[in-house]
């Protein structure tokens, strides 16, 4: 081989090596305690299913270098804290910023929401990782039959979710989710693709998703953690007001059959799936339906019943109106220190019979 050809070969090898190197990227971030904000060293950080693994050092920092372009599951694990997993589509150098870990059992007061999905934690996620906000893409799910109007989903749109599992208190982030009320199943869509998997509701302890219409967090807790008439409940409750006396909502779906009269050509031609909301308050672990009678309604506020009744009358609230109930519970809980509203207005758009 001539000297010139040898030089060209070396140049090509170096050039190709540079191309390969240019296709590799890095993932970095910093692990902190969700409550104190202090960094945590010694946290195990791995890319699940690969040989890549490290621990946080020098102020809770970690970094993976020279990673090929691919999809990864970042797994964060530290003794005494909820495990966290996050899906990452790596196509450029990615700094995940500050990642808060939540201590096990940090819920403290026994209120409806686990500390993991408290509003301030979710707002921190939104501020520090804006890509946590998702859209409402719909893929891969067949349409409802033509003769049946409506669907069994709590929200038929896909909403970006943060999910706490019962097993190992594992936290899943970055998935889009929707919930089938009738089957008590979650459909999860992985980021950046249209692959949909199904997860039984009995595996999920809490879930918070960002409502794709209103761009606000909504919080749901598993009824298995509560009791109605002494028995656990299948399905999920939305936490509307969390505090001294939590306000909860459960949405159920039911079938309204066609009443079309062929001879007279009147009535509804198609069967319809309608949804109904029922409102509850939480007393310890017991979940109790909101009384519809005015006198019994005020009794649930104990020694502040008269004050709440006066507040209701001064504002001309109807205690059968869900929006009024929401305002009353928000006012009651604001009387106690440390209260923070988790939503500012009631989202109530289901069909009522």
Q: What is the overall mean pLDDT for the chain?
A: 77
pLDDT digits (tens, 9 = 90+) for 205-240: 888 888 777 777 888 988 888 887 777 788 899 989
User: Which of 16-25, 38-47, 279-288, 305-314 comes out lowest in average pLDDT?
Assistant: 16-25
**Do residues 217 and 260 make contact, with C-beta atoms less than 8 angstroms apart?**
no
Closest CA to 81 of 40, 25, 30, 119: 40
Determine the pLDDT at residue 109.
37
The angle subtended at Cα 158 by Cα 154 and Cα 162, nearest 5°, is 90
Determine the pLDDT at residue 312.
93
* Per-residue pLDDT at 173 exceeds 50: yes
Rounded average pLDDT over 306-331: 92
Determine the pLDDT at residue 134.
37
pLDDT digits (tens, 9 = 90+) for 257-310: 777 666 666 667 777 888 889 999 988 888 889 998 888 999 999 999 999 999
Secondary structure of 250-300 as H, E, C letters: EEEEEEECCCCECCCCECCCCEEEEEEEEEEEEECCEEEECCCCHHHHHHC
- Which residues, in sequence order, are CB contacts of 139 under 8 Å at separation 6+? 189, 194, 196
User: Which of 82-96, 126-140, 266-280, 315-329 comes out lowest in average pLDDT?
Assistant: 126-140
Which residues does residue 198 pair with via DSSP β-bridges, in sequence order? 187
Rounded average pLDDT over 167-185: 83
Rounded average pLDDT over 245-250: 90
**DSSP states along 29-97:** EEEEETTT--B-SS-EEEETTSS-EEE-BTTTEEEEEEEESEEEEEEEE-TTB-EEEEEEEESS-EEEE
pLDDT digits (tens, 9 = 90+) for 48-66: 878 888 888 888 899 888 8
- Which residues, in sequence order, are CB contacts of 37 under 8 Å at separation 6+? 100
Residue with more model confidence, 296 or 80: 296
Closest CA to 289 of 229, 244, 201, 350: 229
Task: Tell me what percent of the residues of the chain surpass a pLDDT of 90.
Answer: 14
Determine the pLDDT at residue 181.
87
């Amino acid at each position: 081989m001539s000297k010139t050809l040898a030089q060209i070969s070396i140049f090509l090898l170096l050039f190709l090596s540079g191309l390969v190197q240019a296709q590799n990227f890095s993932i970095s971030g910093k692990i902190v305690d969700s409550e104190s904000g202090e960094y945590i060293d010694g946290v195990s950080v791995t890319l699940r299913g690969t040989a890549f693994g490290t621990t946080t050092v020098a102020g809770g920092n970690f970094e993976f270098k020279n990673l090929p372009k691919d999809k990864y599951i970042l797994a964060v694990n530290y003794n005494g804290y909820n495990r966290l997993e996050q899906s990452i589509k790596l196509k450029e150098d990615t700094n995940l910023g500050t990642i808060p870990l939540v201590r096990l059992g940090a819920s403290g007061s026994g209120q409806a929401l686990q500390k993991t999905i408290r509003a301030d934690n979710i707002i921190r996620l939104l501020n520090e990782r804006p890509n946590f906000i998702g859209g409402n893409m719909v893929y891969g799910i067949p349409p409802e039959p033509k003769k049946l109007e409506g669907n069994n989903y709590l929200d038929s749109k896909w909403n970006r979710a943060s999910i706490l599992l019962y097993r190992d208190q594992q936290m899943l982030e970055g998935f889009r989710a929707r919930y089938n009320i009738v089957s008590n199943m979650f459909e999860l869509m992985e980021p950046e693709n249209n692959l949909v998997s199904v997860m039984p509701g009995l595996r999920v302890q809490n879930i918070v998703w960002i409502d794709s219409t209103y761009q606000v967090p909504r919080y749901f807790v598993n009824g298995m953690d509560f009791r109605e008439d002494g028995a656990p409940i299948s399905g999920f409750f939305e936490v509307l007001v969390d505090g001294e006396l939590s306000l909860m909502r459960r949405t159920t779906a039911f079938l309204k059959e066609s009443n079309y009269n062929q001879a007279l050509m009147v009535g509804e031609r198609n069967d319809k799936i309608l949804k109904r909301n029922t409102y509850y308050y939480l007393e310890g672990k017991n979940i109790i339906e909101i009384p519809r009678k005015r006198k019994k309604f005020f009794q649930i506020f104990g020694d502040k019943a008269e004050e709440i009744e006066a507040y209701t009358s001064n504002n001309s609230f109807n205690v059968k109106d869900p929006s009024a109930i929401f305002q009353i519970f928000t006012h009651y809980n604001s009387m106690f220190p440390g209260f923070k509203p988790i939503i500012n207005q009631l989202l109530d758009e289901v069909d009522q019979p």
